[in-house]
C-alpha cells in the first residue's frame, strides 16, 4: 500500500545485493527474526536483490556471516539519507521533511470521487449529494468511511439503483452503480379505448384480441381512421365498452426533402489564441486571469485538468486547469454535385428516422429523386416504403 511505502521512505531503507549458495537459509533466518524484507528478486542461482529498513540492515550482518554470504549496498533511499546528504543545508532538509509529512497526512483523506454509472435516470449531482450525506465526500477521512453504510444509504434513498459498490484505492473513492431494470409497462385495460390509425397506409396484417374490427387486410386507411372499435353493441348484451387490443401492421410511405448546398462550412483556426488557467487547491478555484471575456467571434475551446498525483490512485487535492481558446474563421468550401446530393439525402434520412412510429418499423425500400426549385435550388427528396404498427389507442371519453 502507498501508506506503507511512505512510512518506509520516512524511516529510510537500503537496497542490497546478497550473493552466496545459501540464499533460502538467509531469508528463513531473517523471517524467523522478524526482519522485514521486500522486493526480493533473484538475479541468478546465487544472487538476489532486496530492500530492507535501515534498522533491519544493522541486524543482518551476523546472518550474512552464518550463511557465508556476501553483502553489498546497491542504493540508500529515504528521508534520513536525504537529510544526512544535505545536513549542512538545514532549510532544504526541513522543507523535505515537512513535504513528506504533508504527503503522508494527505494520503489519509479522500480527494477524488469517481462514479461509474452508465444509467441516465439519476443526475450525477444527486448521487454526489447522497454520498456526502452518507459520509463519503472530498476531504473525508478514509478510516471514517463505512463502505457498507454508504452503499446501503444510496440503495435506501435512490430507488433506481439495484446495486452499489464502494471501493477506496489510495485517495480515490470509486463508486460503482448498477441501475434497476424497470418491469415492462402493462397496459391499463380498465379504461375503454378505440384503436385508430397513427398514419395512412395499406393494412398488411391485423391481429385483434379485444374490440370490434373495422378494417381488413388490404384496406387503405387514412390518418386517424377508426381501425378497431372499443364499443360493442348486441341485442343480447346491449352496449359494452372494452379496451380494444390489436396489432395492425401496415405498409406506409414517408417522404422528406432537403436543399442540396454546393458548399460545406469549415472551421479554420487563424492563429489567434488565448489561454486562461485556474489553480485548484482543496476544491477552491483560483483564476490566474482578470478578464473572463473571450474577444473572438467564433472559437474552439480545449479544456484539460491536470491533478497532482503520485501514481494512479494517489491523487493530491491540487490541480491545474487549462482553458485554451483558438479563434476560427468559418469558410465555405465548395464541393461536387454528387457530394451535395449525398449530404442533402443524409439530412432527409435523418428526418425520416425521426418520423418512424417506433424502432420496430422496417424500411422495405428507398427512392432518391432530385428536382429544381423555381429559385434555382436543387431539392433532394428521399422516399421510404415501410412496414409499421400503425395502431394507436384512443381513450373513449
pLDDT value of position 50 = 93
pLDDT value of position 90 = 67
Give the separation between CA 77 and CA 72, rounded to whole angstroms: 15
Contact between 385 and 363 (Cβ < 8 Å): yes
Give the separation between CA 355 and CA 257, rounded to whole angstroms: 13
pLDDT digits (tens, 9 = 90+) for 129-168: 999 999 999 889 998 899 999 999 999 999 889 999 999 9
Give the separation between CA 340 and CA 378, rounded to whole angstroms: 9
Read off the DSSP letter of residue 225.
Answer: -
Q: Does this chain's domain 2-83 share its CATH topology with 112-179? A: no
Contact between 253 and 384 (Cβ < 8 Å): yes
What are the boundaries of each domain within the chain? 2-83, 112-179, 193-250, 271-327
Question: Whose CA is closest to 151, among 125, 120, 182, 115?
Answer: 115
pLDDT digits (tens, 9 = 90+) for 293-341: 888 989 999 998 888 887 778 888 888 898 999 999 999 999 999 999 9
Contact between 266 and 333 (Cβ < 8 Å): yes
Give the separation between CA 297 and CA 278, rounded to whole angstroms: 23
- CB contact burial 246-260 (16+ within 10 A = b; e otherwise): bebbbebebebbbeb
Could you give the percent of the chain with pLDDT greater than 70?
95
Question: Whose CA is closest to 66, among 101, 21, 107, 111?
Answer: 21
Q: Which CATH superfamily is domain 2-83 in?
A: ACT domain (3.30.70.260)
- Give me the half-sphere count of Cα atoms (radius 13 Å) on the Cβ side of residue 53: 14
Helix (H, G, I), strand (E, B) or coil at 192: coil
Name the one residue in this structure whose C-alpha cell is 471501493: 167
Name the one residue in this structure whose C-alpha cell is 477524488: 112
Contact between 223 and 198 (Cβ < 8 Å): yes
β-bridge partners, 395: 193
Give the separation between CA 374 and CA 47, rounded to whole angstroms: 91
Name the one residue in this structure whose C-alpha cell is 556471516: 65
The three cell numbers locating residue 189: 385495460
Contact between 380 and 367 (Cβ < 8 Å): no
pLDDT value of position 3 = 63
Contact between 390 and 252 (Cβ < 8 Å): yes
| Terminal C-alpha separation, the chain | 69
CATH number 3.40.50.300 is the correct assignment for the domain at 112-179? no
Low-confidence ranges of the chain (pLDDT < 70): 1-3, 87-90, 93, 184-189, 234-235, 237
pLDDT value of position 317 = 87
pLDDT value of position 269 = 93
Handedness of CA 70, 74, 78, 80 (dihedral sign): positive
Handedness of CA 9, 11, 16, 20 (dihedral sign): negative
Read off the DSSP letter of residue 243.
Answer: B
Query: CB neighbours of 93 closer than 8 A, spacing ≥ 6?
Result: 82, 83, 86, 87
The number of angstroms, rounded, from the C-alpha of 98 to the middle of its chain's C-alpha atoms is 37
Amino acid at each position: 500500500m502507498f501508506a506503507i511505502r511512505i512510512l518506509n521512505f520516512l524511516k529510510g531503507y537500503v537496497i542490497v545485493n546478497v550473493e552466496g549458495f545459501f540464499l533460502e537459509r538467509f531469508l528463513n533466518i531473517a523471517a524467523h527474526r522478524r526482519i522485514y524484507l521486500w522486493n526480493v528478486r533473484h538475479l541468478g542461482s546465487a544472487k538476489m536483490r532486496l530492500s530492507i529498513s535501515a534498522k533491519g540492515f544493522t541486524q543482518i550482518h551476523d546472518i550474512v556471516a552464518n550463511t557465508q554470504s556476501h553483502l553489498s549496498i546497491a542504493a540508500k533511499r529515504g528521508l534520513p539519507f536525504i537529510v544526512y546528504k544535505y545536513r549542512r543545508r538545514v532549510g532544504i532538509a526541513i522543507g523535505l521533511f515537512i513535504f513528506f509529512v504533508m504527503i503522508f497526512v494527505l494520503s489519509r483523506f479522500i480527494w477524488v470521487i469517481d462514479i461509474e454509472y452508465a444509467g441516465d435516470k439519476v443526475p450525477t449531482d444527486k448521487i454526489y449529494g447522497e454520498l456526502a450525506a452518507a459520509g463519503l465526500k472530498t476531504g473525508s477521512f478514509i478510516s471514517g468511511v463505512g463502505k457498507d453504510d454508504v452503499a446501503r444509504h444510496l440503495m435506501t434513498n435512490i430507488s433506481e439503483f439495484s446495486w452499489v459498490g464502494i471501493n477506496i484505492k489510495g485517495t480515490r473513492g470509486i463508486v460503482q452503480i448498477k441501475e434497476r431494470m424497470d418491469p415492462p409497462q402493462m397496459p391499463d385495460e380498465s379504461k375503454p379505448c378505440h384503436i385508430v390509425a397513427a398514419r395512412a397506409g395499406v393494412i398488411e396484417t391485423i391481429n385483434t384480441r379485444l374490440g370490434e374490427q373495422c378494417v381488413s387486410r388490404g384496406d387503405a386507411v387514412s390518418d386517424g381512421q377508426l381501425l378497431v372499435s372499443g364499443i360493442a353493441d348486441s341485442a343480447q348484451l346491449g352496449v359494452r365498452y372494452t379496451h380494444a387490443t390489436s396489432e395492425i401492421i401496415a405498409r406506409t410511405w414517408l417522404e422528406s426533402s432537403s436543399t442540396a448546398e454546393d458548399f460545406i462550412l469549415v472551421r479554420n483556426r487563424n492563429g489567434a489564441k488565448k489561454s486562461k488557467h485556474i489553480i485548484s487547491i482543496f476544491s477552491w478555484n483560483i483564476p490566474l486571469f482578470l478578464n473572463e471575456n473571450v474577444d473572438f467571434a467564433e472559437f474552439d475551446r480545449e479544456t484539460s485538468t491536470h491533478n497532482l498525483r503520485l501514481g494512479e490512485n494517489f491523487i493530491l487535492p491540487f490541480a491545474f486547469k487549462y482553458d485554451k481558446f483558438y479563434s476560427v474563421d468559418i469558410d465555405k468550401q465548395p464541393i461536387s454535385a454528387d457530394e451535395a446530393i449525398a449530404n442533402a439525402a443524409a439530412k432527409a434520412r435523418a428526418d425520416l428516422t425521426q418520423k418512424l412510429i417506433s424502432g420496430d418499423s422496417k424500411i422495405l425500400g428507398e427512392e432518391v429523386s432530385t428536382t429544381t426549385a423555381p429559385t434555382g435550388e436543387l431539392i433532394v427528396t428521399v422516399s421510404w416504403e415501410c412496414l409499421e404498427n400503425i395502431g394507436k389507442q384512443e381513450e373513449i371519453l
